[in-house]
Each structure stands twice: as structure tokens, then as C-alpha cells.
A and B are shown apart, each in its own frame.
Chain A
């Protein structure tokens, strides 16, 4: 990316950019007021004419990162964004779209068979879990592609190994970078941590890079730093010094790790200044309950709408899906919150006019054993369910539901689609990048039509 040090030419776009966040806790601009924390040496203010709101963008010649990130985002092409949503623990495919029309279902699931859902229009054997009704609605609108049995050959039933495969985009236990991380390493910017954003409070492994910075936050409006008994210009100097500590050189890898994260935290803090301390207002309602997944998606929509340079985003869905016992009681609230949040997110993107820029991939490390166990739960299985959500998603299922009569020798659902094919197809059709450079052995994986 070209670094633009000339910031005046970007005033209009920047004003557009920050319009969406105006009035959300930004300090008012009055003569003589102190500079807010960490904003460097000068302040520039703009008026977004169409909104009639006063806004502030902060920056200084010496501290260009924030300006550059904004300028790049505002002046560069509005690129596609991929959101990854992980259902942690191995979500039970036979409960998400449950095969009520398969004669063996009630034999294998005497206690756990789901009831009361609507039929899946593309396969009369399958029914939507009632908790996923919002996804059924989006599917009716042609915005959800279902993968009813996605996985890989020689499935591994370890949570950690199988998740690792999905995160790194290969069945290679030794690969350390995430598949999205490698994409960002190849195409990303050295000074934009927001390009790979994890909204789970810690970095999702799929975003792990080796070269370019990526970020983890709880929410866009909470990324602020203060200290007891430090304010005004001294606080600004202190926050500058925090960034400077990140540039201290060392030959020691651990020291460098700590220094690098300090530097990235400083850049991210500057990028998120427009959100600092405010509340996020959305044009559509989100589910109540303040679930981290719900507020995370809400923040993503607001950040994209504000023009912040997001490219790959990773979240973990509400709930835990490792349902060895008490499956129904655990699954229903988890799926309810997850599906309702995804639905609100989609409506939010549509209301903000940015729905065509975002695709959301929902996945889990594996599905669960077809035969229920004796604890009212299910043990680890093989193929699982994935969804690709968005207005640009084809909305046509990928891979057949294989049926319960043809389980693998361990009694697990066989995969009829491969996650590496999904990644290759998304890289080529959505992110417009050569999958061969990201996914090991990409050439041997089939491509699916995922984007319309």
C-alpha cells in the first residue's frame, strides 16, 4: 500500500469515514480544550457537511500511522471482507440441520433427536434446528450456503488437532501461520493492525501472521489506555512513549515479541480513536444479553461502515459446542444467540449499505458421533456443518448430506465437501487471490462456486 503523508487531500473522505461515529463519545471541539489522550501534537477537525456533525481526527506529522491507515482505507478500493465465525468444541451436524427424514435418525438419536424445525428446501431429509430459524430466513432470501457435511479425509477427532487443521488451512500439525494470516502476509500492510481483527479478546489462530501486524480487541470502543495520576500533555507523551517502547531493539525473541505487541497496541489505539469511549449505535436491533459475540458483530458492522480498514475478521460464536453430556440444554441457547446475532449482523450490513462487501463463514472443528452416548450427549465425530452467509453467497448447498446409512468405520458422518476447497474457492472468488500461494497443495482441491 502506498503511504500517504499528504493528509489534507483526504479530508472529505475522512469526514465521510467518521460520520458514522459522530457523537459517540468523541470529545467536542472547542477552543482551548485539552488534547485528548494520546493524540500527538496537533488536532484537525472536520465538518461532515451531509451530517452536519463536528468530528475530530487526530494526528501529527510525526505520528502518521493513524492518518495513513485512515487515508489508505478511505482512498483505496473498498475491498471484500471475510468474517470467520468459529463454533468451538465440535458442533453437532445432526442437530444443526437434523436429518428427520433419514430413517436411521431416531434409532441413533433416541434421546437427542431434534423436533419442531422447518424443512430445508434443498434437501427434504433435513430440517433446520428451530434455534436456527433466523438462518432459515436468510437462506430463503438466497443468502446462506449450507455445507451439510464438511471436513477432510482421515479425520482427526482431537479438538486441538482438527481445529489446528482448519485454522492453518492444511492437515499439517506443524504449520504455525493461519490461512488468513498467510493471505494478509502476502497482501497486507505493515502498519494496519485492523486488517486482521480478532474480536474475542485474544488472537484467533487463523489470523496468525509472520510479517504484518494483526489485532485482537474486545470491542472497538474499549481500546483505550490510561494511568492513575497522569493526564493532559503528560498523558499524551506517556502514550507516545508506550509506542516508542515497542520500537526498542533487542536480539531476544521474547523481548521482541513483547516489544512488537506494544507497537501494535499503539497503532491500533490510534486507529480506534474515533470509537474511543463511545457506545455503538446500530440501525437494527441486536439480541439482548450483551453476549460478546453479539456485541462483537455489532462492532464489526460499525467499523466497516466507518471505513476502517478491516479485511479479515475472526470471532467465536456464542456458547460451547463440545456437548458430551446434556446436549440439548447446552445447544439450544448457544444456537439461538448465535443465529439471532448473525441475522442482526446481516440486516445491519444491509441497512448500512455494505452487505455486498462482507461474507461470513461459520465453521466448527468437526461434527459429532452419529450414535448418541449414554450421557445425553455425543462424542467427537468427523464431518460437520458450515455456513457461508452474505448477499454475495450463492445460497446453494455444497456437498450432499451423505445419509446415516453410510457412516465411516467409526460411526461418523463422512465428509462430502473439503474445508480446503472452501478456502481455495473463497481466496479466488472472494478475495481475488491465488490460492496456490496460501493453501498447501491447492491444485488438488476441487473448487466450489461460492460467490455470485
Chain B
């Protein structure tokens, strides 16, 4: 990270900037919202940079470095993210855990959700990861450029039938979703059903070939398949092609407000006030730049003074692995992700994951299993009580908190954990129970802390 003195960021005039103390607690929240939570010592180091310096360091992260051992499957083999089921998920989770550039991975996750593409429809982990690399390398690129690249991206062309959209028989799938989900939003009066049809015509011309054994390949624009006739979109007439189609969307008057509202929602759980929204939109309109908008959101008072957010399941798990310095040593994370409601590369549909509904009784159990799986390699063996394990409820709780790198828990959670430990220890009457129960209690405390409401939100 760069020292704050080099180039402190300045939020655009008009967007409120957080002016309170920027200490470890605030740095930790920033790391959760803009990344995957702190490794030991990271929040402290970030706090020293001050708010502007910290946000700058995240937005200009320098070269990619990975911290910790490389990932492997359960047998110790390197991951095969292009080929083996679930190893795509683990490949990316590893980056979230080990990266030195958390905002890059977090924005990649934002774009994966924004332009939600599922391998369910693409059928190629390789093409999915190529799309993922596109999101990564353009993590803060201007949005108009990103939209063009996504529109021409092979995984997207397959997912929303772009290469089946030909002039004789337009396929509306991409044309509709690019307006409804990617740029303008439904039910805002931004476009009509006729615009959907006309956009589909503008977007014709993408083709690909298919060969047995190779699958879909050779994605290209074929002018012969493009409808060169006049189209009328948003009351403008022209011989639009796919580039024109993208341009019309970002230049639509309803786009900036859609963009700002959607981007904001990934970082702050409550809607921005009207002054903030207007200022962010003005900022965004200057060239559809994403970086200054993200910088402004990350410095906004609502991020530090406002409500907590439920962590997406992969953020929860990546954060726990970061906290304890563990890498990827199993491919179980893929099915655990699915059980928790977030298997990477398999969003539920083209609208992405519903950030307001991460938690229900089924996905809670998925998160529980995630913590259980993480602890499997770290749990204490009751048949061999480790020397140095303290006796008594409070020392055991302190020990479990230390295991998780001392997260701050609410008073109520602390009380319930202590209550559990003291009552469970009191059940131990026989000699062997008194020797064993502290180990069981310590394991139980670690599990409970990992799934506590405190650790599921930030």
C-alpha cells in the first residue's frame, strides 16, 4: 500500500465525506465493504493511512501479490479451474483470500453480479474464467468501455444468445437484459418493448463456431449477419450496431441514476440521500468513470456511521480464512458455497444474487457448514487435550477469540458464549469429562463465533 502522503484522494465537491475518527474499527469496516476483511494487522496498518490514504491505497493497489501458500485440492494437487467441477469457485476464492488487492477482487465480484453470467448456460469454465479476468483487469475502468467489452465477451454472447441473434430472426435476450439489468432498470420508463426489439436488431452480427471436442470458439462479428437497416431506439433513428447500442444505453438520461444507485448498493445497505445521489451522478457523467464514484462512496459518512451489512457468503468465508491465515486446501468450498446461496460462476439468474435475501434457514445451515469445514483442519482433538489450553469459561472464550484474531463481538453475543462455556463445563462431573470438556467447549466456541450474527455482518 502507498503512504497517504503520496497522493491523498479528494472526493468530488458535493459528495459528503466522512469526517469522524478513522481508527481500526473504521478501517476494518472499509476492508469488509471494499474487500474480504482484514488479515492480522491489516486494519491497524490501514488506519494509519487515514481515510483518504486508505481509500487511495485500495483504489490504486499496485501490482498483484499473493500472500500464503498456493491453493490445492483435497489430495494436494493443483486446482484445475478450467476443467474440474467446483475448482473454478475455489480458484477465485483463493484469490479473495490471498490477494494483496482486495478491491480488485471485490469489484470483480460486483461485476460478476452486475453482468451475472452463469456457467449453467455457458457450459465452459474456461470461458467463464476468461470473463472473470475481463472483470478483474477492468475493475475500475470507465463503464462505457466495460459495457462494450462485456457485450462482445464470449461467455456473455453464449449466455444471452448473442451469437444466435441474426438479422433474419433477432433474439431479444441480450438486448432486453442490457437495458433492464445492466444499464437502465425496469419500470423506470427508460425504454419500451419496441426499444427491446430495435436493440436486438442493432446487436445482430455476432457469430461463433462450434466443434466437437472443442466446443464454442471463434467468436467474431460477421457483417453479413448484421441488420444494416435503420433502427429507432429511444426515439433516435440510425443504423445502429452493437457499439451504437451500448452508447445509446449509457447516454440514456436514466442511466446515471441507475448506475449510481446500483453501485452504491454493493457498499452501503441504505439508499443515498438525494444530495449524495445527485453529486455522485454528476461525478459519474464526467466520462462514465467508475473509479472516482467508488472512491467517493468509500469515503461517504454512510459507510462508517450507517447500518451494518450482511456479508455475502463468499465474503464471509474468505474473511474467516484470512483471519486465521488459512489457504484453500479443499474443494469442499464449492458445494458449501452452493449451500450458502453463492456458488461463484453460477448466479441464480441474469439478475445476479439478491443481496437483500442472503439469509434464510437453508443458507444459514450452509454458512454453519462452511465454518465447520474450516474448523475441521484446526479443531482440537479431545483425546489429546493440548497443553496450555486454559481452564474456565472466560479463559476458554478468550482463547477462542484469539483463534479468530480477536474480532469485536457484541455484549449479548459475548454473554451467550460465556453462558454456553460455563454451563457445558459444569456438566462435566467425571474425571475424564473434566479433562475432555474444555477441549469440546473450545471447539464449540470457535464454531459459534464463526456463525455468530456479529461475524455474518460488518
- Which A residues fall within an 8 A CB radius of B? 88, 156-161, 173, 193, 198, 201-203, 205, 208, 215-218, 223, 225-235, 237-238, 240-242, 244-250, 252-259, 261-262, 264-265, 268, 320, 324-325, 373-375, 377, 379-380, 410
Contact = CB atoms under 8 A, between A and B. Distances in A.
A54 B168 CA distance: 69
B78 interface: no
Contacts of A259: 453
A230 B444 contact: yes
Interface string B438-458: 011101100110011110110
A63 to B, nearest CB: 14
Contact of B361 (A193, A228, A234): A193
Interface of B: 120, 160-161, 164-166, 168-173, 176, 180-181, 186-187, 193, 196, 269, 307-310, 338-339, 341, 349-351, 357, 359-365, 368, 372, 375-376, 379-382, 410, 412-413, 416-417, 419-420, 423-424, 427, 437, 439-441, 443-444, 447-448, 451-454, 456-457
B361 A216 contact: yes
B310 A374 contact: no
A230 B359 contact: no
B164 A238 contact: no
A227 B441 CA distance: 11
A248 B361 CA distance: 17
A215 B308 contact: no
A62 to B, nearest CB: 12
Nearest to B441: A234
A246 B412 CA distance: 10
B365 A229 contact: no
A193 to B, nearest CB: 6
B372 A228 contact: yes
Given A233-B424, A241-B419, A252 B360 contact: no
Q: Is the interface of B mostly helix, strand, loop or mixed?
A: helix
B271 to A, nearest CB: 13
B362 A377 contact: no
A173 B187 contact: yes
B307 A325 contact: no
A254 B361 contact: no
A261 B360 contact: yes
Contact of B417 (A228, A241, A264): A241
B357 A202 contact: yes
A254 B441 contact: no
A261 B452 CA distance: 11
Contact of A244 (B338, B420, B427): B420
Given A258-B456, A261-B360, A325-B161, 14 more contacts: A159-B351, A228-B372, A228-B443, A234-B444, A244-B419, A246-B453, A248-B412, A268-B361, A320-B120, A324-B160, A324-B161, A374-B166, A374-B170, A375-B164
Nearest to A369: B172
Contacts, number: 210
Contacts of A215: 360-362
Contacts of B350: 159
Nearest to B169: A374
Q: Which 5 residue pairs are nearest across A and B when measured between Cβ atoms?
A: A374-B169, A248-B412, A375-B164, A258-B453, A241-B420
A244 B416 contact: yes
B372 A261 contact: no
Given A203-B360, A261-B361, A379-B171, A229 B420 contact: no
B32 to A, nearest CB: 12
Given A228-B372, A255-B454, A262-B451, A248 B413 contact: yes
A254 B29 CA distance: 14
Contact of B310 (A233, A237, A258): A258
Nearest to B353: A202
Contacts of A232: 440
A203 to B, nearest CB: 4
Nearest to B351: A160
Contacts of B448: 238, 241-242, 245
Nearest to B269: A254
A240 B419 CA distance: 11
Given A238-B448, A245-B452, A248-B453, A217 B362 contact: yes
Contacts of A247: 416
Contact of A254 (B168, B169, B180, B457): B457
Nearest to A248: B412
B232 to A, nearest CB: 16
18 contacts: A157-B176, A157-B196, A160-B180, A217-B361, A229-B380, A234-B444, A235-B440, A250-B453, A254-B310, A261-B361, A262-B453, A265-B364, A324-B160, A324-B173, A325-B164, A373-B169, A379-B171, A379-B173
A330 B457 CA distance: 40
A161 B193 CA distance: 14
A375 B165 CA distance: 7
Contacts of A238: 420, 424, 444, 447-448
Contacts of B360: 198, 202-203, 215-216, 261, 264
Contacts of B440: 229-232, 234-235
A415 B171 CA distance: 24
Contacts of B180: 158, 160
A156 B309 CA distance: 32
Given A229-B439, A245-B453, A255-B410, A380 B365 contact: no
A218 B336 CA distance: 13
A186 to B, nearest CB: 21
B307 A254 contact: yes
Contacts of A320: 120
B172 A380 contact: yes
A265 B453 CA distance: 13
A234 to B, nearest CB: 4
Nearest to B412: A248
Contacts of A217: 361-362, 365
Contacts of B161: 324-325, 375, 377
A247 B453 CA distance: 10
A320 B349 CA distance: 10
Nearest to A259: B453
Contacts of B416: 241, 244-245, 247-248
Contacts of B168: 374
Contacts of A373: 164, 169-172
B193 A410 contact: yes
Nearest to A213: B361
Nearest to B174: A324
Contacts of B176: 157-158, 380
Contacts of A256: 453
Nearest to B437: A234
B423 A237 contact: yes
B427 to A, nearest CB: 5
